[in-house]
Amino acid sequence: MNKSILALCMAFGATLLFSQDISLSKPPAKLGVDLLDAIRTRVAARTFVQRDVSVADLSTIVWAGNGLKRTPDAVSSASKAGGTYPVSGEVNYINLYVLTAKGVYRYLPESNLLKQLAAKDERGSVTSENIATSAFMVLFTYDSAKLPVFVKGNPAAGKDMAMGTASYGAENIALSAAALKLASIVMFNVNPAAVTEAAKLPKNESPLFIMQLGYTQ
């Protein structure tokens, strides 16, 4: 009886451990790496050394990929909220997810939080090119309901616009990762049905591509 109770307690504890959101830290003011140095040291890798990334570094990378910043208004000079890259239209239609060995998370830039959607490793299900030793995977998606009006009647043009916009985020991530001594690689081989299920995508949201990141030494 005591063993059964102990087993239940351990199982419950494990569920709590792997079923929690991740509160992210604010990105640092500087990384101490020159932009050109980051470009020179950026590496696209398919082989990684298995090593976890810190919450601080993860916070910096996802913020670069789809975060919020405050910039001065060109007319009034008042500070206003904006994204880390330009978006056509008034609303950001790009979303970012993080997949790790411990679960699937949706990035919420307004609250600087990774909201857990699943408590298991789904990386192998969303792509046949999963690299098990990567530290984590980033998934870019777009919400077709938030696209600018001038592409609403043209799904192909809307997806092309979303792909181009998300590429700004991918570039930010690649350079930030290089500054933090991580390698990265962009991949377009994704299983849309598996992504939709793993990330619990709503009706109007579709996957674009993934990035896998990790250490090479």
pLDDT for 186: 98
Instruction: Please report the pLDDT score of residue 15 as a whole number.
Output: 40
**What tokens were used for 57?**
């570094």
Edge-to-edge strands, sheet with 136-143: 22-23, 113-118, 103-108, 94-100, 136-143, 205-214, 183-187
Residue 48 counted as domain residue: yes
Supply 142's token pair. Answer: 């777009």
Q: What is the CATH number of the domain that holds 64?
A: 3.40.109.10
Per-residue pLDDT tens over the stretch 180-209 = 999 999 999 999 999 999 999 999 999 999
Query: Where are the alpha helices (H) located in the chain, listed in sequence order?
Result: 2-17, 35-41, 55-66, 123-126, 155-179, 192-198
Q: Tokens representing 127?
A: 């792509």
C-alpha–C-alpha distance, residues 21 and 97, integer Å: 13
| Domain annotation covers residue 169 | yes
Identify the weakest region by mean pLDDT among 37-51, 64-78, 160-174. Answer: 64-78
Over residues 124-163, the pLDDT tens digits come to: 999 999 999 999 999 999 999 999 999 988 999 999 999 9
Measure Cα distances from 170 to 155, 208, 209 in Å. 22, 11, 10
SS3 state of residue 146: helix
6 within domain boundaries = no
Query: Is residue 31, in this structure, part of any structural domain at all?
Result: yes
Domain count, the chain: 1
72 vs 85: which has the higher pLDDT: 85
Name, in order, each residue with C-beta under 8 angstroms of 170's C-beta and a sequence gap of 6 or more: 65, 140, 186, 209, 211
For the cut 50, the answer to whether the pLDDT of residue 93 exceeds it is yes
In a domain, 14, yes or no: no
pLDDT reading at 14 higher than 80: no
**89 found inside a domain:** yes
Range of the domain at 92: 21-214
Is 2 part of a structural domain of the chain? Answer: no
Q: Is residue 64 part of a domain?
A: yes
pTM of the model: 0.86
